[in-house]
Amino acid sequence: MRKPFIAGNWKMYKTPVEAAAFVRELKDSLKDVSGVDVAVCPPFPALWPVKEALEGSDIALGAQNMHFEKEGAFTGEVSPAMLQDLGVKYVILGHSERRACFGETDELINQKIKAAFTWGLNPIFCVGETLEERERGITKAVVEIQVLKGLAEVTAEQAENLTIAYEPVWAIGTGKTATPEDAQEVCRFIRELLVNLFGKEIAEKVRIQYGGSVKPENIKELIVQPDIDGALVGGASLKVDSFTAIVKGSI
Ligand code: PGA
């Protein structure tokens, strides 16, 4: 039985001061909740204050991106070593906004995923098709390429600490959610790919989140699907009430 995993992807929202105040409230709101893993992924400048504010709570800290090198002349980048030093547990990699706005390729994402494992960070690896790809009926082919390229050279041992987020691009920030059945079908397909890559035992341990307009109103119908083990939440993770309701709805 996989433990549900709800992660908040804050994107480029909340200053460090706002972020710390938010998690102090969130900590209180989730204090009696168990049976679910929860993470918040603030922007880089808020990681340290959020880490301090989370002290004494089970809420984990995540980042939204990183470079794959330990250090170097890469102006504006943040390294896995820096995230590890900060006590970051998870790192979102391959988000569709990184792919679309910053030109991240499957090959680059693969380098980042391997670097994350090297540094003891647990990747939340995002995959998903665009609306055009769905309408052309190539959703599975697109997701298959993303999964296979993204996970090239990842070992079964490493994959135990992997989370995959299936996020149809057309459902992100649009208010449109995939039907639970459609989301399940792709998540089931992803798990089959994982079976081929890492064997059944490991594939059954990997948590697959759904992402794309997850809200308190739809978390329940998503989480009951056999291959959906949680959610990567954008907009609804920015308010304590809605994020708390999603976390509680996932148990
Ligand atoms: P959304 O974003 O919940 O606002 O649709 C999800 C994501 O981009 O991870």
In CATH terms, the superfamily for domain 5-249 is Aldolase class I (3.20.20.70)
Say yes or no to pLDDT of 243 above 90.
yes
Ligand 1 pocket, residue 239 CB under 6 Å: no
**CB of 82 closer than 8 Å to CB of 65:** no
Name which of 158, 110, 251, 19 is nearest 8 in CA terms: 19
For residue 182, report the distance from its CA to the centre of ligand 1, in Å.
17
Distance of CA 205 to the CA centre of its chain: 16
Catalytic option among 52, 69, 95, 104: 95
User: What is the residue-averaged pLDDT of the chain?
Assistant: 97
Please indicate whether residue 29 or residue 176 has the higher confidence score (pLDDT). Answer: 29
CA distance 125 to 99: 12
* Res 216: pLDDT: 98
Annotated binding residue 62: no
> pTM higher than 0.85 for the full model?
yes
Pick the atom of ligand 1 nearest to 215's CA. 3
**Residue found under tokens 């990842």:** 154
State the pLDDT confidence band at 177, using cuts at 50, 70 and 90. confident
For residue 89, report the distance from its CA to the centre of ligand 1, in Å.
20
- Residue environment code for 44-71, b if the CB has 16+ CB neighbours within 10 A, otherwise e: eebbbbbbebbeeeebbbbbbbbbbeee
Say yes or no to pLDDT of 145 above 90.
yes
Which residues are CB-contacts of 53 (< 8 A; sequence separation ≥ 6)? 19, 20, 21, 23, 24, 27
Ligand 1 pocket, residue 212 CB under 6 Å: yes
| Residue 95: active-site member | yes
Say yes or no to pLDDT of 105 above 90.
yes
Annotated binding residue 173: yes
Say yes or no to pLDDT of 178 above 90.
no
| Residue 67: active-site member | no
Mean pLDDT value of segment 121-145: 97
Annotated binding residue 237: no
Structure tokens, 42 = 């603030």
Say yes or no to pLDDT of 90 above 90.
yes
* Res 175: pLDDT: 87
Ligand 1 pocket, residue 128 CB under 6 Å: no
For residue 210, report the distance from its CA to the centre of ligand 1, in Å.
10
Mutate to test the pocket of ligand 1, among 5, 9, 169 (most ligand atoms within 8 A of CB): 9
Say yes or no to pLDDT of 114 above 90.
yes
* Res 130: pLDDT: 96
Say yes or no to pLDDT of 20 above 90.
yes
State the pLDDT confidence band at 1, using cuts at 50, 70 and 90. confident
Q: How many alpha carbons lie under 13 Å from residue 62 in its C-beta half-sphere?
A: 28
Ligand 1 pocket, residue 214 CB under 6 Å: yes
Ligand 1 pocket, residue 127 CB under 6 Å: no
Annotated binding residue 230: no
